[in-house]
Amino acid sequence: MSLDPKQEWKILKYELFENKPAIAPYPPSVVSKRQLLLISQCLLADYEYEKVPKKKEFFGAIYKLTMETYFA
């Protein structure tokens, strides 16, 4: 399994900074989705810098699952 970190960072930056609701405070459903984006940032950073292949694969799988949940 392979991810393109540069492309994934572009997606995360768009979702965090461009695709945000104009209402404040955010409703609980939006807060939950935005929390997934924060978790995804950490997982993608771990994936990008991990050297051990098994751990890298783990972070990539969890990242993909988190993003699938976000977009669901």
Q: 22 in a domain, yes or no?
A: no
Q: Tokens 């945000």 appear where?
A: 20
Tens-place pLDDT, residues 16-34: 999 988 888 989 999 999 9
Mean pLDDT of all residues in 35-48: 96
| Average pLDDT score, the chain | 93
Q: 53 in a domain, yes or no?
A: yes
Cβ atoms 2, 62 nearer than 8 A: no
Q: 6 in a domain, yes or no?
A: no
Which pTM value belongs to this model?
A: 0.89
Q: 55 in a domain, yes or no?
A: yes
Cis peptide bond N-terminal to 25, omega within 30 = yes
Mean pLDDT of all residues in 33-53: 96
Terminal alpha carbon distance of the chain: 21
Q: 45 in a domain, yes or no?
A: yes
Q: 39 in a domain, yes or no?
A: yes
Domain that holds residue 65: 34-72
What one-character DSSP code corresponds to residue 26?
P
Q: 14 in a domain, yes or no?
A: no
The domain total for the chain is 1
Calpha distance 34→54 (Å, rounded): 28
Q: 11 in a domain, yes or no?
A: no
Quick one: pLDDT at residue 16?
93
For 56, the token pair is 């890298």
